[in-house]
Chains A and B, each alone.
Chain A
Amino acid sequence: MTAMIGKKIPRADALAKVRGQAAYVADLALEGSLAATLLRSPHPFARIKAIDVTRAAKMPGIAAIAFSGNTPAKPLDFGIKDQHLFPREYVRYAGEPVAAIAGDTIEHARAAAAAIAVTYEVLTPVQSIAQALAPHAPLVHPDWQAYEKGANRVLRGNVCGYNRIRRGDVASAFSSADVVVESKFEFSPGIPGYIEPRAAIARREADLGLTVWCGSQSPYSNRDDLAAFFDLPQERVRFINQFVGGAFGGKILMATEWYAAALALQCDRPVRMVWSRQEDGQNVFPRHGGTATFRSGARNDGTLLAMQASFFFDTGAYIGYGSGTALIATMLASAPYRIPNIDLEGTLVYTNKQVAGPVRAPGGPQSTFAKELHLDELARVLAIDPLEFRLHNAWEDGDVSPTGQKLASVSVKETLRRAAEAIGWHQERAAHQGVGIACSWWFSSCGRSQANVEVRADGSVHVSSGNPEVGTGSAAGAIPLIVADRLGVDPHAIVLTLGDTATGTYDGGVGGSASTFSAGQAAKIAADDVRDQLLARAEEALEARRDDIDLHDGTASVRGAPGHAISLAQLASQSGGGAISATGETKEISEPEFDASLVQSHDFASWLAPSFTTSAALVDVDAETGRVRVHRIVTAQDVGFAVNPTGIVGQIEGGAVQALGFALSEELLFGAGGIINTGFHDYLLPTAVDAPKLDAIIVTSPSSEGPFGMKGVGEPPVTTPAGAIGNAIRDAAGAVPYTTPMTPERVWRALRDAAR
Chain B
Amino acid sequence: MQYFEPNFVDEALVLLDRFGSQARLLAGGTRLAFALRGDADKVGALVNLKRIKELSTVSLREQTLYVGALATAATIASHPAVRRHVPVLAQAAISMGARQLRSVATIGGNVCSGDPASDLCVALLACDAQCEIRRSSSDPALVVPIEELLRKGQSALEPGSLLVGLRIQLGWDRCAYQKMTTRRAFEMSLVAVAFCCRNGPSLDQPRVAIAGAAPTIVRAREAEKVLAGKAFTLGRARDAARAAGARDAAPQTDWRASAEFRRQLVVTLTERAIVAACGER
Chain A residues within CB distance 8 Å of chain B? 624-627, 629, 664-665, 669, 671, 676, 681, 684, 686-690, 743-745, 748-749
Contacts and interface: CB of A to CB of B under 8 A. Distances in A.
Contacts of A744: 180, 182, 190, 261
30 contacts: A624-B264, A625-B269, A626-B261, A627-B180, A665-B182, A665-B183, A669-B255, A681-B188, A684-B182, A684-B183, A686-B183, A687-B98, A687-B184, A687-B186, A689-B183, A689-B184, A689-B185, A689-B186, A690-B183, A690-B184, A690-B185, A743-B182, A744-B180, A744-B190, A745-B257, A745-B258, A745-B261, A748-B261, A748-B264, A749-B261
Contact of B255 (A676, A686, A690): A676
Nearest to A660: B183
Q: Specify which of B183, B188, B265, B268 lies most central, judged by the most chain A CB atoms within 10 Å of its CB.
A: B183
Contacts of A625: 180, 265, 268-269
A676 B274 CA distance: 36
Nearest to A744: B182
Contact of B187 (A626, A671, A676, A684): A684
Contacts of B183: 664-665, 684, 686-687, 689-690
A513 B183 CA distance: 29
Contacts of A669: 255
Interface size class of B (residues with CB under 8 A): 10 to 19
A664 B184 CA distance: 11
Nearest to A110: B38
Interface string B174-185: 000000101111
A749 B258 CA distance: 11
A619 to B, nearest CB: 13
Given A625-B265, A627-B180, A748-B264, A687 B257 contact: no
A131 to B, nearest CB: 19
B264 to A, nearest CB: 7
B188 to A, nearest CB: 8
A687 B181 CA distance: 13
A676 B254 CA distance: 12
Chain A facing B: main interface SS: loop
A681 B115 CA distance: 15
B254 to A, nearest CB: 10
Contacts of B184: 629, 687, 689-690
- Top 3 nearest A-B pairs (CB, nearest first) are A689-B185, A624-B268, A745-B261
Q: Specify which of B188, B265, B269 lies most central, judged by the most chain A CB atoms within 10 Å of its CB.
A: B265
A318 to B, nearest CB: 26
Given A625-B180, A676-B255, 16 more contacts: A624-B264, A625-B269, A626-B261, A664-B182, A665-B182, A669-B255, A671-B255, A684-B182, A684-B187, A689-B184, A689-B185, A690-B184, A744-B261, A745-B257, A748-B261, A748-B264
A525 B258 CA distance: 59
B176 to A, nearest CB: 16
Q: Specify which of A624, A629, A686 lies most central, judged by the most chain B CB atoms within 10 Å of its CB.
A: A624
Contacts of A681: 187-188
A470 to B, nearest CB: 25
Nearest to B264: A748
Contacts of B269: 625
Interface string B51-86: 000000000000000000000000000000000000
Interface in B240-277: 255, 257-258, 261, 264-265, 268-269
A549 to B, nearest CB: 57
Contact of B185 (A624, A687, A748): A687
Contacts of B265: 625
Contacts of B261: 626, 744-745, 748-749
Contacts of B190: 744
Contacts of B98: 687
A277 to B, nearest CB: 12
Contacts of A626: 261
Contacts of B185: 687-690
A745 B188 CA distance: 16
A689 B190 CA distance: 18
A688 B184 CA distance: 9
Nearest to B98: A687
Nearest to A629: B184
Interface in B161-202: 180, 182-188, 190
A733 B13 CA distance: 58
A101 to B, nearest CB: 18
Q: Specify which of B180, B182, B255, B258 lies most central, judged by the most chain A CB atoms within 10 Å of its CB.
A: B182
A631 B177 CA distance: 24
A681 B189 CA distance: 12
